[in-house]
């Protein structure tokens, strides 16, 4: 199965946070699954850390690539196709990071691993 981690899911995985569901953790840990991390998550973490909405994320910003590689996750770049779909969703949801993750999930055929019920507005397959 192809999985795309929502940003909070990625951070909770790295911090071994108890808010990460058992089902999500098992899917991420399953070596039979391909786990993607979006460039949009790097952007979101860096942005929210800079403006003070994500204190304690300095290591995630500084060592993003190393942390992704250490877990054998795959980077997912943002393409113009992703951007067009994200911008074109006819949904009243203004978060650009969520829009991009939903577009990437749709185009790449990946299940979005998220605890955010609002992501279901995009009609993407979610796992939690």
What distance, in Å, lies between the first and last C-alpha atoms of the chain? 14
Cβ atoms within 10 Å of 58's Cβ, excluding its own: 11
1 Cβ partners below 8 Å, 6+ apart? 27, 30, 32, 33, 34, 111
Return the domain boundaries, the chain. 2-127
Cβ atoms within 10 Å of 20's Cβ, excluding its own: 21
Per-residue pLDDT of the chain (128 residues; tens, 9 = 90+): 999 999 999 999 999 999 999 999 999 999 999 999 999 999 999 999 999 999 989 999 999 999 999 999 999 999 999 999 999 999 988 999 999 999 999 999 999 999 999 999 999 999 99
**Which residues are bridge partners to 37 per DSSP?**
75
- Rounded CA gap, 67 and 84, in Å? 29
* Fold observed for domain 2-127: Rossmann fold (3.40.50)
Measured in whole angstroms, the distance separating CA 53 from the mean position of its chain's CA atoms is 17
pTM: 0.96
- Rounded CA gap, 36 and 94, in Å? 23
Token look-up 């192809």 returns: 2
- Rounded CA gap, 16 and 25, in Å? 9
């Amino acid at each position: 199965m192809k999985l795309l981690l929502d940003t909070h899911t990625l951070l909770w995985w790295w911090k071994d946070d108890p808010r990460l569901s058992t089902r999500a953790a098992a899917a991420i840990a399953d070596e039979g699954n391909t786990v993607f991390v979006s460039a949009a998550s790097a952007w979101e973490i860096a942005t929210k850390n800079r403006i003070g909405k994500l204190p304690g994320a300095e290591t995630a910003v500084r060592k993003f690539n190393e942390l992704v590689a250490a877990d054998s996750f795959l980077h997912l770049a943002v393409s113009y196709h992703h951007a067009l779909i994200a911008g074109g969703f006819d949904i009243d949801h203004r978060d650009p990071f969520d829009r991009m993750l939903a577009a990437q999930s749709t185009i790449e055929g990946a299940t979005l691993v998220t605890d955010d019920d609002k992501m279901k507005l995009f009609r993407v397959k979610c796992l939690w």
